[in-house]
Chains A and B, each alone.
Chain A
Amino acid sequence: MNEPWWIDGIKSVVIVNLVLLTFAYMTLVERKVMARMQLRYGPNRAGPFGLLQPMADLVKLIRKESFFPANAVDTLYIAAPVVSAVTALTAFAVIPFGPGWEIFGYDVSGYVVNVPIALILLFALGSLGIYGFIIGGWASESKYSLLGSMRTCAQLVSYEVSLALSVLGVVIMSGSLSLVDIVDKQNETMWFFVPQFVGLITFFIAGIAETNRAPFDLPEAEQELVAGYHTEYSGMRFGLFQMAEYINMITLSALCVTLFFGGWHGWNDDVLGPLWFILKLLIILFVFIWMRATLPRLRYDQLMAFGWKILLPAATLNALLTALLVVAL
């Protein structure tokens, strides 16, 4: 499969825009779904059913004053949200979304890049994303921001371990770190959520914590910390942080689909692959929102105890058992 380099460019542009669109409408869907679960209507003024709400939000964010604390460290303060957003967006490059096609005589593969270490790359990017949060909190020169970023940092580092260990089972079963190989392997055998059920659960829980979503949204617990690390941010810089969070969530859901639910495989997936992928992605995203609407926030010590004493041993045991079974069978 030899494709000219500009096809990669086109694919990148399409994917980035699709992800951004998903992000924009995720905010709306989240508000709508939460509202319906709480017997409210949610945003319904901008356009039919409030469909133009994201656009309105965007315009509002751009036109707002970009507040800048007097003591903030300027370069870092500005760079922080960019770091978060860029690493979040880059991660999508390695996620396969289709079998690959031949369009107008050109080979078009179903991924932007296929690297043999895609999974590690994803985690590396995820851990780089933390820098945005910690630098942002530190550079704003404000107690709330700093405490928020410290919390984020501690939480992300703690749950990153469980997250990485929970996918180890999948890696052992598929024998590869490449997401393309993992998806193919699932097509040959079965979707990994069946044998790796514990892995899926730990992955999903750690994923929620990793994306700072309720019930693990301690870093921005508004009762204690105003808004966490982005307290001092406003305007589009705030928007970038927000974007990073949502895109992280989307990436994680995409990873979940890829690792546990067969990626783009489904009925008639030669053509409909990307659609299957998006469908599964949306379902996972819906679960994310559902969790947020359902569960109350944890206390901080509960969060840490849960992460280190329950989640991590569970993930480790799962990986060990999988390794044993794979070797034995």
Chain B
Amino acid sequence: MGNFLVWVVWVAAAFACLGSAVAVITFANPFYSALALVGNLGSLAVLYLLLSAEFVAAAQMLVYAGAVMVMFLFVIAYLGGRAETPWAGGPGWQAVAAVGAAGALLVEIVVAVGLKAGGRLSEEADVDAFFGGPHEIGRLFLTDHLLAFEITSIVLLIAAIGGVILGSNARSGPESTGGSPARAGGTRSPAPSISAAQPPEGEAAR
């Protein structure tokens, strides 16, 4: 009974994970893509649960699905852009090549995992009751991964500083000079219209 239930949940979560991952990159509307990413993170959290990593699963939901993705949706909803069509004009050869390479990698990894599945991957992992709990993870943070834990905070701090620097500058001018494609180099295609991504004031939505 219990084992069967685990299988059902696993199959559902695994396919939801794959499906939502594909959905993220195929939706034309960024809002849907972001929602699909939320679904992806959620199904990953379920897989973590099955691996008896409850804390990681909950943290994943809290941090990624709950906070990070809300910010994504926030920005996307503000910027609007329901009708964006990144695939207009059909995929270019680079896209085809990228899909080909990704497919090759997928096959390779599936084959690799498949070859190993007969071996130790099918064995039941032996974990104690504390595995994946806050105690055990906290202990790891303070012992084996002390340095990694500390530098994570530095990485986040630098990212926050960068956000402030770039953000506070960008706010200084709702620039609307769409008409000067000239750029410093001048040797290549016109610069992407970063300024066009910001809607004029007063028209915050769509």
The interface of chain A, by Cβ under 8 A from chain B, is 76, 115-117, 120-121, 123-128, 130-131, 134-135, 137-138, 143, 146-147, 149-150, 153-154, 156-157, 160, 177
Contact partners of A126 in chain B: CB under 8 A: 66
Q: Give the complex CA separation of A138 and B67 in angstroms.
A: 18
Contact partners of B62 in chain A: CB under 8 A: 120, 123-124, 127
- Verify A138–B58 contact, CB threshold 8 A: no
B78 within 8 A of A: yes
- Verify B55–A127 contact, CB threshold 8 A: no
Starting from the known contacts A147-B205, A153-B73, A153-B74, 4 additional A-B residue pairs (CB-CB under 8 Å) come to A116-B54, A121-B58, A125-B61, A127-B62
- Verify A127–B31 contact, CB threshold 8 A: no
- Verify B71–A134 contact, CB threshold 8 A: no
- Verify A123–B66 contact, CB threshold 8 A: yes
Q: Knowing A130-B66, A177-B134 touch, does A120 contact B55 (C-beta < 8 A)?
A: yes
B35 within 8 A of A: yes
Contact partners of B31 in chain A: CB under 8 A: 138
A260 → chain B closest CB, angstroms: 21
Q: Which chain B residue has the least Cβ–Cβ distance from A116? A: B133
Contact partners of A128 in chain B: CB under 8 A: 61, 65-66
- Interface size range of chain B in the complex: 20 to 34
- Verify B67–A160 contact, CB threshold 8 A: yes
- Verify B66–A124 contact, CB threshold 8 A: yes
Contact with A along B53-64 (1 / 0, CB 8 A): 011001101100
B139 → chain A closest CB, angstroms: 13
For the complex of A and B, the 5 pairs showing the least CB-CB separation, nearest first, are: A127-B66, A124-B61, A124-B62, A120-B58, A138-B77
Contact partners of B133 in chain A: CB under 8 A: 116-117
Contact partners of B47 in chain A: CB under 8 A: none
A-B contacts, 23 listed (Cβ < 8 Å): A116-B54, A116-B55, A117-B54, A117-B55, A117-B134, A120-B58, A120-B59, A125-B61, A127-B65, A131-B70, A134-B77, A135-B35, A138-B73, A138-B77, A146-B204, A150-B204, A153-B70, A153-B73, A154-B74, A156-B70, A157-B70, A160-B67, A177-B134
Q: Give the complex CA separation of A121 and B78 in angstroms.
A: 29
Q: Give the complex CA separation of A120 and B45 in angstroms.
A: 13
- Verify B74–A131 contact, CB threshold 8 A: no
Q: Give the complex CA separation of A135 and B72 in angstroms.
A: 12
- Verify B78–A150 contact, CB threshold 8 A: yes
A249 → chain B closest CB, angstroms: 19
- Verify A150–B66 contact, CB threshold 8 A: no
B113 → chain A closest CB, angstroms: 29
B44 within 8 A of A: no
- Verify B70–A130 contact, CB threshold 8 A: yes
Q: Give the complex CA separation of A173 and B54 in angstroms.
A: 22
Q: Give the complex CA separation of A123 and B63 in angstroms.
A: 10
Q: Which chain B residue has the least Cβ–Cβ distance from A146? A: B205
Question: Which residues of B in the span 59-112 have a Cβ within 8 Å of any Cβ on A?
Answer: 59, 61-62, 65-67, 70-71, 73-74, 77-78
Q: Give the complex CA separation of A121 and B65 in angstroms.
A: 12
Q: Give the complex CA separation of A117 and B205 in angstroms.
A: 39
A95 → chain B closest CB, angstroms: 16
Counting chain B CB atoms within 10 Å of each CB, which of A115, A128, A135, A177 scores highest? A128
Counting chain A CB atoms within 10 Å of each CB, which of B55, B62, B78 scores highest? B62
Q: Give the complex CA separation of A134 and B38 in angstroms.
A: 13
- Verify A146–B77 contact, CB threshold 8 A: yes
